[in-house]
Amino acid sequence: MPDNRIKEHPVLDFDRGKEIYFEFEGKKIKAYERETIASALYANGIHQFTESKKMHRPRGFFCAIGKCSSCIMKVNGIPHVRTCITPVEEGMKVERHSAQPEIPEIEPEPYPEPEEKEVEIAVVGGGPAGLSAAIVAAEFGGDVHLFDEGDSLGGQLVKQTHQFFGSHKAEAGTRGIDIGTDLLEKAKEMGVKIHHNATVLGYYPEMTLTVDAGGKLEIYHVKGIVYATGAIENYLAFENNDLPGIYGAGGVQTLMNEQGIIPGRKVLMVGSGNVGLIVSYQLLQAGVDVVEVVEAMPHIGGYQVHASKIRRAGVPINTRHTIVKAKGDYEVESAIIQELDEDWNPVPGTEREIECDIICIAVGLQPDNHFLRQAGCDIEFVRELGGFVPIRNKDMETTVEGIFVAGDAAGIEEATVAVLEGRLAGAAIIQRLYGTSEDTQKEKEKAREGIEQMRKGPYGQMPRRGVKVCTIDEEVC
Amino acid sequence: MTDSAGVVIIGGGVNGTGIAYHLAKKGYTDVIVLEKSYICSGASGRNGGGIRQQWSTKENIKLAIESTRMFEELQKELDTDLEFKQGGYLVLAFTEEEVEQFKKNVSIQNEMGLDSKFINPEEAKELVPELNISKVKGATFNETDGTIYPFKVVHGYAKAIKEMGIDVREHTEVLDIEKNGDEITAVKTNKGTIKTDTVVNAAGGWSKKVAEMLQVDLPNKPYRHEIMVTEPYAPFLDPMVISFHHGIYFSQSEHGNIVGGIGNPNETEGIEQRASLWFLKTMAKTLVEFVPRFKGMNMLRQWAGLYDTTPDAQPVLGPVPEVKRFYQVNGFSGHGFMVSPVVDKVTAELILGETPSMDISDLSITRFEDMDIEKEYSVVG
Ligand SMILES: Cc1cc2nc3c(=O)[nH]c(=O)nc-3n(C[C@H](O)[C@H](O)[C@H](O)COP(=O)(O)OP(=O)(O)OC[C@H]3O[C@@H](n4cnc5c(N)ncnc54)[C@H](O)[C@@H]3O)c2cc1C
Ligand code: FES
């Protein structure tokens, strides 16, 4: 079997942990204890994880962060397990299953009453926004529980090997990965109770959360919630867009920068926003060939510095181009790209076939906030923020009292703003529960100032306009 | 902006779009359908898709038999697969009273031409081998009952009526209805006024509110009703299984998901469509009591919709005495999807002044003036 694990990387060291073995459809497979099932399979050259419901088409992973169900498999007899966020274990049995698997036989007591607990503050999501909110709320004395469905925390930050150069002093020049690790350390230090592999399933009136804690249902009655689940990657419609080998940019980052596994040999990047450009550069760093970047807009979407870096490395960026088709029987073998005219229609005769085994989709993100809709928060479509977002006040509190939102879940921006929004929400939730104080007020003002600063830059214009239409001019206290 | 229409239909559910469909089929397209949210946002997009003909009152049996036949035809008319699966309905009895009532129901149903039968618990187990029959006292079964995919029906109607030239306006909420004496003059919406003399109230759980705009007092009361879907599994459940005693129903869709709901006896009247923890726990427990093997399944989603209930659990149909050309198509009490084809057809006939192909005058609002109305017993949830 091939081994697609990265052996040497200019910036990253991969601490994969102990070597272990598990079983995939009867075959013994080598893995490392810090890998997920999906990445261990991928490292061994297995790219098809499931099949589509009706047409039985092969499917690989897509998001690699538990948000798309494209990677569900049968694990130790239980079907529908999201293998991209499930850690691999010694002796585990993993199989593919059809769209309609048998109901598994489970032996233990059918109905242990779910455990019900009362805690003060629940933070949902352990990315930069969630961690920051948890840290600040804990600093001000809150009893904070943080839930994340992943095995490791840090959210999208731990995948960012590049240096941040936001105008916010604190983080400029630091690599995202280090910011993520620092936040996690700080949260632990502050006494935040961290729940890994814990998926928050839903919200129930009033202020109750259900949590899938590794297959066990837990119920939390809380006083306040900060919701910071980040974003979901956008998808593109084109022929054969479900072939294994077509992955979200975030998915590629997770596989490559977090798990240390190369996604393939030759990549077509779709989208030249900062994510597309940065991931292209990261692919080059990992020794992967980026054949071309296509961009539907007439100009490059991201920062010039990022574009120049990959151009210098010889990667062409073709604006006014899009992907129209992927080719391959079981996996991507090539892609057809085509030029677009001024009305965004493909120009006949300009089709070009590009040989590649990976098509990386980097066409933006949309806020992940289904939970807030379930909780009855008012939601508004704000194009500038990437889609449907909750209406919030100046303290990031939604229209349901006691439920706050921060980071990409509130609107697509970037990590520094996510940190600051988290801090703002962390201080504000303390005010909501215990009333205002000079310190919490100061913290809020500092965070808001930082956000203002960030939104003054050229790329802050969009979110700046966006938040205007969905922010109510009020504070918690 | 003021515009006008021959008929304004309030509600973009199965009945609102269905009535428009029957009007259009008859060549009448001077119709505007108004929906305050999106098509199928009400109970029509939130129900279990159950199609049952096993009822206790003659009215409901008659409506359901004819509607089931029409659903079969609709598949061809709309030229889409409506996922109409006729796996039968298995209605379980848990008390002696239920056994008595069920036997009565079957004899009325048979009299009306339905092939339903009363069976013993062992026969029920043959139909659903995984069923726990330890407390089951008997059952009725009718093999032409089944389930349909509600979204495909409503979106099928919506597409067809648009193609035939009917104006469907989503995100347009009716705020008031104006009249002059006992004649309707206009409908006021959040997006302007529409002149009309004919209004259809197919607003589901909001019907009482709509009728109030014309000072018509409907006895309808909205109640939340919750429902869930599991992850998909290999096909193993043919019929829809229901119990009035527990207020539960569940079936397996074409995709393999179990879809089912259970009524909360302590539910209070009102427009509440959020999901509850009570439902999550109770549904999970009860499902496993019915079919122990279900303990290995995962629930995928839960949601809620509104039952628009009436004192006798039968719909309110046809004109009202106080206002001319104000047609009611509401109060379905949790079974409005399955009877919609015939109800919608007859409503269209009434609007156009034709002789109705089925007499539904017994279901007019005036029946509530009468004290001894006949109650439908076979209501689930
Ligand atoms: C959980 C659940 C399970 C069910 N299971 C079944 C089943 O298995 N089988 C079955 O036959 N029935 C079932 N039912 C009942 C069935 O869904 C309803 O009876 C049926 O869908 C009613 O359709 P409708 O078109 O009359 O109303 P709805 O589908 O509720 O449509 C009414 C529409 O009117 C709109 N509206 C309201 N006020 C205004 C206004 N002022 N202006 C503009 N628009 C307005 C609403 O937004 C809504 O979309 C179930 C119901 C629920 C809630
Ligand atoms: S959920 Fe695993 S790839 Fe998206």
B76 domain residue, yes or no: no
Asked if B371 reaches chain A (Cβ–Cβ under 8 Å), the answer is no
Residues of chain B with pLDDT under 70: 1-2, 370-373, 381
Residue B248 CB contacts under 8 Å (≥ 6 apart), including other chains: B242, B260, B261, B262, B263, B283, B286, B287, B290, B380, B381
Residue A123 CB neighbour total at 10 angstroms: 38
What pLDDT was estimated at residue A112?
72
B378 domain residue, yes or no: no
Burial A149-186 (b: 16+ CB within 10 A, else e): bbebbbbbbbbbbbebebebeebeeebbbbbbbebbeb
- Classify residue B25 by burial, with Cβ atoms within 10 Å: 0-12, 13-18, 19+: middle
More reliable by pLDDT, A119 or A170: A119
- The minimum CA-CA distance between A453 and chain B, rounded to whole Å, is 38
CATH number of A19-95: 3.10.20.440
What pLDDT was estimated at residue A117?
96
Adjacent-strand bridge partners of A94:
A24, A75
**A295's tokens:** 């961009």
Q: Do B227 and B297 share a domain, yes or no? A: yes
What pLDDT was estimated at residue A12?
79
Domain harbouring B21, CATH code: 3.50.50.60
Helix (H, G, I), strand (E, B) or coil at B292: helix
Q: Do B231 and B303 share a domain, yes or no? A: yes
Span A318-364, pLDDT tens digits: 999 999 999 999 999 999 999 999 999 999 999 999 999 999 999 99
Q: Do B191 and B289 share a domain, yes or no? A: no
Q: How far is the CA of A160 from the centre of ligand 2 (A)?
A: 19
Whether a cis peptide bond, with omega within 30° of 0, leads into A206 is yes
Span B232-256, pLDDT tens digits: 999 999 999 999 999 999 999 988 9
Q: pLDDT confidence of A180, banded at 50, 70, 90?
A: confident
Q: How far is the CA of A38 from the centre of ligand 2 (A)?
A: 9
B139 domain residue, yes or no: yes
Question: Under an 8 A CB cutoff, do A374 and B235 touch?
Answer: no
More reliable by pLDDT, A150 or A425: A425
User: Residues lining ligand 2, judged by CB closer than 6 Å?
Assistant: A 61-64, 66-71, 82, 84
Interface confidence (ipTM) of the complex = 0.85
Q: What topology does CATH give the domain A246-365?
A: FAD/NAD(P)-binding domain (3.50.50)
Q: Do B227 and B276 share a domain, yes or no? A: yes
Q: Is A81 in contact with A75 (CB distance < 8 Å)?
A: yes
Last residue of a domain, one of B309, B335, B352: B309
Please state, in angstroms and rounded to a whole number, the distance separating the CA atoms of residues B250 and B187: 40
Q: Do B108 and B229 share a domain, yes or no? A: yes
Which of B233, B274, B294 faces A101 most closely, judged by CB atoms?
Answer: B233
Please state, in angstroms and rounded to a whole number, the distance separating the CA atoms of residues A407 and A450: 14
Domain harbouring B270, CATH code: 3.30.9.10
What pLDDT was estimated at residue A215?
80
- The minimum CA-CA distance between B299 and chain A, rounded to whole Å, is 11
Mutate to test the interface with B, among A52, A100, A216 (most CBs of B within 10 A): A100
Chain B residues closer than 8 Å to A207 by CB:
none
Q: Do B210 and B337 share a domain, yes or no? A: yes
Please state, in angstroms and rounded to a whole number, the distance separating the CA atoms of residues A400 and A222: 14
Please state, in angstroms and rounded to a whole number, the distance separating the CA atoms of residues B155 and B160: 8
B23 domain residue, yes or no: yes
B244 domain residue, yes or no: yes
Q: Whose CA is nearest to atom 27 of ligand 1?
A: B204
DSSP string covering B206-252 = GHHHHHHTTT-----EEEEEEEEEEEE------SEEEETTTTEEEEE
- The minimum CA-CA distance between A467 and chain B, rounded to whole Å, is 24
Span A257-314, pLDDT tens digits: 888 999 999 999 999 998 999 999 999 999 999 999 999 999 999 989 999 999 999 9
Nearest-CA neighbor of A413 among A87, A166, A192, A77? A166
**A393's tokens:** 């006040």
Q: What topology does CATH give the domain A115-232+368-470?
A: FAD/NAD(P)-binding domain (3.50.50)
Please state, in angstroms and rounded to a whole number, the distance separating the CA atoms of residues A120 and A468: 31
Q: Chain A residues contacting B, CB < 8 Å?
A: 53, 78-80, 98-106, 110-111, 114, 202, 204-205, 208, 210, 219, 374, 376
B381 domain residue, yes or no: no
Q: Do A115-232+368-470 and A246-365 come out as alike in CATH topology?
A: yes
Residue range(s) defining the domain that contains residue B240: 86-143+221-309
Please state, in angstroms and rounded to a whole number, the distance separating the CA atoms of residues B212 and B231: 42
Please state, in angstroms and rounded to a whole number, the distance separating the CA atoms of residues A26 and A278: 39
Span A207-245, pLDDT tens digits: 999 999 988 899 999 999 999 999 999 999 999 999 999
More reliable by pLDDT, A456 or A180: A456
The number of domains in chain B is 2
Q: pLDDT confidence of A20, banded at 50, 70, 90?
A: very high
Please state, in angstroms and rounded to a whole number, the distance separating the CA atoms of residues B309 and B224: 10
Q: Nearest chain A Cα to B300, which residue?
A: A201
Adjacent-strand bridge partners of A194:
A146
Whole-angstrom CA distances from A71 to A81, A214, A244, B224, B372 are 8, 17, 10, 35, 59
Q: Which residue has the tokens 């309905």?
A: B89
B70 domain residue, yes or no: no
* Ligand number nearest to the C-alpha of B202: 1
What's the maximum distance between 2 C-alpha atoms anywhere in chain B?
66
Question: Under an 8 A CB cutoff, do B293 and A219 touch?
Answer: no
- Classify residue A457 by burial, with Cβ atoms within 10 Å: 0-12, 13-18, 19+: exposed
Please state, in angstroms and rounded to a whole number, the distance separating the CA atoms of residues B142 and B88: 5
Q: Whose CA is nearest to atom 33 of ligand 1?
A: B11
More reliable by pLDDT, A53 or A20: A20
Span A147-178, pLDDT tens digits: 998 776 666 665 666 655 444 444 555 666 67
Mean pLDDT rounded to a whole number for chain A = 91
B350 domain residue, yes or no: yes
Chain B residues closer than 8 Å to A80 by CB:
231, 298
Chain B residues closer than 8 Å to A372 by CB:
none
More reliable by pLDDT, A179 or B184: B184
Q: Do B93 and B200 share a domain, yes or no? A: no
Q: Do B92 and B130 share a domain, yes or no? A: yes
What pLDDT was estimated at residue B216?
97
What pLDDT was estimated at residue A7?
83
**Per-domain boundaries in chain A:** 19-95, 115-232+368-470, 246-365
Q: Nearest chain A Cα to B286, which residue?
A: A111
More reliable by pLDDT, B356 or A67: B356
What pLDDT was estimated at residue A160?
64
Contact B240 CB / ligand 1 (< 6 Å)? no
